[in-house]
Structure 1
Amino acid sequence: MTVEYSLTDAEHLPYVMHGLLQVHRESGGDTGFEERLAEAAAEPGWTAAIGYENGEAVGYCHGFSLAADTDWWSGLIVPLPEYVTWETGRRTAVLDEIAVREAWRGTGVAAQLHEVWLSLRPEERVTLLVDSAAGGGALQSACEAWGYRRVADRRESRESTVYTTMIRPVRRP
């Protein structure tokens, strides 16, 4: 199995959209992905890392920069101090989503996609949300293995799901 990785930006999203949709569908994704992806790609600094094998997309991850006026840190069950939540537009990247087709799971493709995506991020840190119950906690454990640490919990206004907010430096020492 030889997976090749590439990076793309919002300008080139139309050229890779078909592959991202295929991966999303096969990895059990929900409806509305194309619209959510377009919204994410409209955010400043949006980029995606895509893994290909024999020209076929096998996984992706994507994210963007948090704007200075972001509401990302609202909705926390216990608010964080301002020194954690202040943003400049260049301080924090958001890993919005990562997905890998079933045949490539457990092969290290997700971790490699993550590292490729981070490789060109200019921010000092990266944050993500994890459904704390997903996979019996396995997803959160995987993020911890990649260096993320829990900083808070949050609940979306109309959902009962509690999400764990995690942060790690973009470049690990």
Structure 2
Amino acid sequence: MSLELRHYTDVAPVRQAIVDIHVEVRQRDFGLVGPFYSAERFDERLSAHSAVAGWEAVVAYDGGEPAGFAYATPLGVGTRWWAAMTGPLPEGYTVETGKRTLALNEIVVRRAWRGTGLAHRIHEELLGGRGEERVTLLVNPRAGDGKVQAVYERWGYEKIGEQQPFADSPVFASMMREPLRRG
């Protein structure tokens, strides 16, 4: 397997590949259905995320075929990211500057490449060039019967609480990794 990891700061050239992979994995592979997981709603979220200054994606290609992706946005002053937390966090924890916290919005790997370490490679490639202090993400704690959350824990994330960012979304485990890079 000869994989190439490409960085993008403009969503236009990779929008359709990202949407297609998301739908394939979330709906077909994992059986996640309903309006929140529709291609249209995901594309709306992708548009909102990619409009934020500092948005970046890493897409993995295997011989020209997209195998997976991750993308992230820095949390700016006045972000709504923390508004959906179901419980309080320590004072000052949610103060954002645009350079403090990176939100890992999505990381998705197609079935043929799962279990190969590709998700971790994409993840670390995306974080490798970033200047933020820490990285946060949301994960459905039921995904893979808890196995997905366990993967993030192995990567150095800790659960800091729960949030439900949309009325029709699941309640997600909110996780944080400090510092941004390990090692």
Post-superposition offset of 1:52: 0.2
> What is residue 102 of structure 2 aligned with on the other side?
93
Match status 1:119 vs 2:128: yes
Post-superposition offset of 1:69: 0.8
5+ long unaligned stretches in structure 1: none
Q: Give the 3 Å change call, closer, same or farther, for CA 34–158 of structure 1 in structure 2.
A: closer
Deviates more, 1:155-164 or 1:28-37: 155-164
How many pairs does the alignment contain? 171
Distance 2:133 2:168 in 1: 31
* TM-score (ref. length: structure 1): 0.92
RMSD: 1.6
Q: What is the 5 A alignment of 1:47-62?
A: 47-62=56-71
2:14 aligned to which of 11, 16, 21: 16
* TM-score (ref. length: structure 2): 0.87
Post-superposition offset of 1:157: 5.6
Match status 1:148 vs 2:148: no
1:36-67 CA distances to partner (integer Å, 9 max, x unpaired)? 21111001210001100111111000010001
- Runs of 4+ aligned structure 1 residues displaced above 4 Å come to none
Match status 1:158 vs 2:156: no
Q: Give the 3 Å change call, closer, same or farther, for CA 58–121 of structure 1 in structure 2.
A: same
Contact 1:3 1:51 in 2 (8 A): yes
Match status 1:67 vs 2:76: yes
Post-superposition offset of 1:35: 2.3
Deviates more, 1:154-163 or 1:15-24: 154-163
> What is residue 25 of structure 1 aligned with on the other side?
23
